[in-house]
Chain A
Amino acid sequence: MVNTKVTLSGITLDNPVIPASGTFGYGYEFAELYDINVLGSFSFKGTTKEPRFGNPTPRIAECTAGLINSVGLQNPGIDKVISEELPKLRQCFHKPVIANISGFSIEEYAYCCERIDKEEQVSIIEVNVSCPNVHHGGMSFGTSPSSAAEVTKAVKAVTTKPVYIKLSPNVTDIAEIAKACEDAGADGISLINTMMGMRIDLKTKRPVIANKMGGFSGSAIFPIAVRMVYQVSEAVKIPVIGMGGVSCAEDVLEMMLAGATAVQVGAANLVDPFACKNIIEDLPRVMKQYHIQDLNEIIGGAHK
């Protein structure tokens, strides 16, 4: 028997596989297909203070080995997430969840995190300072060490649960930003959010996406994510959740060797709704193939 259990800030997960925020809704679409309690945990749809429709459509563009999205944080707002979505989620998922929170001001981040911190099923708060699809907020907090640190401090001051800061790859030095978050009290780092990308339609000669640009994700960005997880885990002592183009059990192992304690799966869920389940079922076989008895042995293994 191999051991797939990993621990994030004192919370033990049966396996390191976590659907990434924005690709798994609040879980129940997937719960129609399989028992989602096989997941290590999951990070629910990014939540803001007010309800948001998001950006105009079209907001999806296909790419080679990936897609661009410019959804723009569509969500029903924190009140409805707490009163309607979390009770529904509780029906189909009985493990601790990761609450993904976004904002347009430091006060908004703090307000939403303080509210969600009181929810019993929430075990980790993932603070998204890296959404590329909203102006005046989102990514702008994650592109400088000082503003990322400010958000971290404000959130830590009003919460009791572990706070993970989700970082953007659209920066010059991601390790420096991660370090600033750690110094400001972050309990962990999630990375990477999507890369800024764009497609242009040859027929209309206009951008495919109504918002012109969006976040590029999918297997094409996997090597970039591995590189950044490696750089960040070298720079900080707090745990790292790695994500970006993960689509098979081999990718999970590679992310962990780069330094991730747990791994999120994003775009793959949209193409194959069973992606996470398949990865979890395949993990013991691939571990055996590479002579890995315990996943904890390989975390950061590539740094040695």
Chain B
Amino acid sequence: MKQSIFTIKSNQHLTDTVLKMVLAGDTSAITSCGQFVNIKLKGFFLRRPISVCDYDEKTLTILYKTVGKGTQYMSTLPAGTQLDILTGLGNGYDTTKSGQTPLLIGGGVGVPPMFRLAKDLIQQDKTPTVILGFNTKEEAFYVEEFRALGVPVHVATADGSMGTKGFVTDVVKTLSDYTYFYTCGPEPMLKALCDVTTTSGQLSFEERMGCGFGACMGCSCETKYGTKRICKDGPVLEKEEIKW
């Protein structure tokens, strides 16, 4: 974990409620895809935990949805604004367990961490298949960016306005030759995926956090392997350890 100041390079809408923010700063504490950052916002007491979409040595990319006053305020910040950010939080995904052809399943605001994960797996000469789930075509984002990585990308929308009509699970049911799965999204989706997948996998969870670095025990959950803090021992848990 590191605390440092980042400068916003761009902050643009991808959809009505989802924005892409690119920040310049020290990303050296980020050690794995699937980790998150915790952003201090002027006028708000707690930081905002946001998953990492992508990063390089000097740049951090996050995609976030305006869900409350904090993220609403974030959406108004112009380029050049400086933000106090804690980086390198959480365990992230373990790519060594993927096998050759893993599934990457992102639902809504769970889509962003799949991007860096896909890039890391491709770098390891693996062939991930990406499944992205949204409510509608209007709410879909980053589909072209995933396609540009050169891997198979399936889209499911609840209303059928883009890709398969239905849920990501409906796409998963049609696939059989995958070796593992990675996912992030709403909890009902994570649960449904555990039921339909035939392999082991890793799931990223969300919880209201106090600190984001393991101090306050605000976001604890019970697993088959004991109590874990979503912020520090998670957010990624393995399918086998989850108590639904």
Residue of B whose beta carbon sits closest to that of A218: B45
Q: Which of A28-36, A116-124, A234-242 contacts B (4 or more CB under 8 A)?
A: A28-36
Q: A71 contacts B208, CB within 8 Å?
A: no
Q: Which parts of A23-41 form the interface with B (CB within 8 Å)?
A: 23-25, 29-30, 32-33
- Given the complex of chains A and B, what is the CA–CA distance between A64 and B69 in angstroms? 12
Q: A74 contacts B207, CB within 8 Å?
A: no
- Given the complex of chains A and B, what is the CA–CA distance between A25 and B214 in angstroms? 8
A contact residues around B232 at 8 Å (CB): 29
Q: Which of B114-122, B123-131, B174-182, B218-226 contacts A (4 or more CB under 8 A)?
A: B218-226
Q: Mark A81-99, 1 if CB is under 8 A from B, else 0.
A: 0000000000000000000
Q: A25 contacts B215, CB within 8 Å?
A: yes
Distance of B108 from chain A, by nearest CB (Å): 16
Q: Mark A187-224, 1 if CB is under 8 A from B, else 0.
A: 00000000000000000000010000000001100000
B216 lies within 8 A of chain A by Cβ: yes
B244 lies within 8 A of chain A by Cβ: no
A contact residues around B132 at 8 Å (CB): none
B contact residues around A74 at 8 Å (CB): 217, 220, 227
B contact residues around A272 at 8 Å (CB): 3, 40
CB contacts between A and B, total, < 8 Å: 88
Q: A29 contacts B215, CB within 8 Å?
A: yes
Residue of A whose beta carbon sits closest to that of B212: A270
Q: Specify which of B1, B45, B209 is in contact with A66 (CB 8 Å cutoff).
A: B45
B163 lies within 8 A of chain A by Cβ: no
Chain A contact residues: helix, strand, loop or mixed: loop
A contact residues around B65 at 8 Å (CB): none
B46 lies within 8 A of chain A by Cβ: yes
A273 lies within 8 A of chain B by Cβ: yes
B160 lies within 8 A of chain A by Cβ: no
B contact residues around A57 at 8 Å (CB): 207-208, 218-221
B contact residues around A60 at 8 Å (CB): 46, 208-210, 216, 218-219
B189 lies within 8 A of chain A by Cβ: no
- Given the complex of chains A and B, what is the CA–CA distance between A293 and B210 in angstroms? 37
Q: A60-B209, A67-B45 are in contact. Are A53 and B222 (CB under 8 A)?
A: yes
Residue of A whose beta carbon sits closest to that of B218: A60
- Given the complex of chains A and B, what is the CA–CA distance between A69 and B210 in angstroms? 8
Q: B207 contacts A71, CB within 8 Å?
A: no
Distance of B89 from chain A, by nearest CB (Å): 11
Q: A57-B219, A58-B207 are in contact. Are A271 and B213 (CB under 8 A)?
A: no
- Given the complex of chains A and B, what is the CA–CA distance between A131 and B221 in angstroms? 21
Q: B1 contacts A271, CB within 8 Å?
A: no
Q: A54-B220, A74-B227 are in contact. Are A62 and B215 (CB under 8 A)?
A: no
A65 lies within 8 A of chain B by Cβ: yes
A contact residues around B40 at 8 Å (CB): 271-272
B47 lies within 8 A of chain A by Cβ: yes
Q: A62-B44, A271-B40 are in contact. Are A32 and B217 (CB under 8 A)?
A: no
Which 8 interchain pairs have the tightest Cβ spacing?
A: A270-B211, A60-B218, A58-B208, A74-B217, A60-B208, A60-B210, A29-B214, A62-B46
Q: B residues engaging A (CB < 8 A)?
A: 1, 3, 40, 44-47, 70, 86, 207-211, 213-222, 227, 232
18 examples of A-B residue contacts, CB within 8 angstroms: A23-B215, A25-B217, A29-B213, A29-B214, A30-B215, A54-B220, A57-B218, A58-B208, A59-B218, A59-B219, A60-B209, A62-B44, A67-B45, A71-B216, A71-B218, A208-B208, A269-B215, A273-B1
Q: A residues engaging B (CB < 8 A)?
A: 22-25, 29-30, 32-33, 45, 53-54, 57-67, 69, 71, 74, 208, 218-219, 267, 269-274
